[in-house]
Amino acid sequence: MRNKTTYACQNCGHQTARWMGRCPGCGEWNTLVEERTAVESKKLRGISGTGPVPVTEIIITEEERYATGLVELDRVLGGGLVPGSLVLVGGDPGIGKSTLLLQAASAIAAGTRKVLYVSGEESARQIKMRAERIGALHPNLYLMAETDMSVVERVIKETTFSAVVVDSIQTVYQPEISSAPGSVSQVRECTGMLMKLAKGSGVPIFVVGHVTKEGTLAGPRVLEHIVDTVLYFEGDRHQAYRILRTVKNRFGSTNELGIFEMRGAGLVEVSNPSELFMNQRPENVAGSSIVPSLEGTRPLLVELQALVCASGFGSPRRMTSGVDYNRVALIMAVLERRVGLRLSSYDAYVSAVGGVKLDEPAADLAIALAIASSFKEQPVQEQVVLVGEVGLTGEVRAVAGMEKRLQEAAKLGFKVCIGPKDKQSQSMGIIEYIGVQSLQEAVEAAIER
């Protein structure tokens, strides 16, 4: 054994041989901390000892998945839990990460499978108190309050478990490393050990990760590269609804979305979020539009609201929530240039209702019509949904998944869809479809007709 001293950035994981006031990797000040790492001189062993094999001789078996018991969690995982996968769940403190995974662990245990829940933040009694409150008591669910990774590793190897939950990666530590728990070295080594356990034994492992004040996962960026799936549990703690979003998934789509409602008895799955978001929508109010968004395979109706008012300062103010700021600025420029709306001296505020974040171009037309409606002080026509990408020349471009979008709109009682001129969409006959070629035509059809 020999000790190696390095200085690691606690924000991005960048390592240097000497201390510096500012991290060369991320530019943050006073984040470099001295860490002593014990390095073994013997050769390291990988997960598999096999040599190179021709790709034509590799035998592919059907990917086995099993349900976690939570439909919304299975959706974002790509259809279920894959044996040997390492799943990282991140989110703000108090958002409900531990509650979500405790409910999932109990549901898996109810299917005659042994599940281990390892907590480095709470005692076994505290976890049982939460389990009693949310109804997650099951004899196949094993609790262990432990922070020593060597002990956790021994327990996982000695007992056959179908799933393991580690809460959280910032609290466990490797005894051979002298750094404090939560440091870059500890997080990297503990995650690497869990990855080897998952791949070597075929046991799926959930890992809870803390987030920084910027909303990103704490620890080195290599943490997200090691794991198979990265999930973010988001939402406003002052509201009851929580959104589980996929950021990375080696076994499924990265656009899936799961929605839960936080109640006193735990998290409850929301099977029809579109109806939930539409319940409180105001009628005949300028500045409101509806877009049938497509998050992975799930269609979702989202209300977009805009408020345009005269600016009281020299430079107009722009604010967004749930939509991209730069995209809104681009759409406002197109509205001014191609439609003739003089927005350059007006403040604009655009928001996606319900805490949903929209990043697909299909929401462009709904954003544009909400802004135009607020500026003209004329509401968008009733029972109308808007979908389409807006180009710099003012044209409305086609988007994918129109059939699912129109079916979701028809399910909630909408009668008309205004979108890009497309013969296939117009011939579906699900609801009345008005095809437009330009943003000017869309404004005339949705507001001025």
Tokens of 412: 């909630």
94 is in an annotated binding site: yes
Which residue ranges make up each domain of the chain?
Answer: 2-39, 65-271, 276-446
The pLDDT assigned to 42 comes to 40
Q: For residue 95, say whether it is annotated as part of any ligand binding site.
A: yes
* pLDDT value, residue 60: 66
Beta-strand pair 396-397/389-390 = antiparallel
Can you tell me which residue has the tokens 């899936």? 256
Does domain 65-271 match CATH 3.40.50.300? yes
Q: Which residues of the chain fall below pLDDT 70?
A: 1-4, 36-50, 60-63, 212-221, 237, 448-449
Please tell me whether 98 is known to bind a ligand. yes
Helix (H, G, I), strand (E, B) or coil at 116: strand
Classified by CATH at the fold level, domain 276-446 comes out as Ribosomal Protein S5; domain 2 (3.30.230)
Calpha distance 29→32 (Å, rounded): 8
The residue assigned the tokens 């600016």 is: 311
Looking at residue 161, its pLDDT comes to 93
pLDDT at 1: 46
Task: Decide: helix, strand or coil at residue 230.
Answer: strand
Angle subtended by helix axes 364-376 and 439-446, to nearest 10: 60
- The 10 Å CB-count burial string (b at 16+, else e) for 163-174 is bbbbbbbbbbbb
In the sheet where 384-386 sits, what is the strand order? 384-386, 416-420, 432-436
Known binding residue 93? Answer is yes
The verdict on whether residue 92 carries a ligand-binding annotation is yes
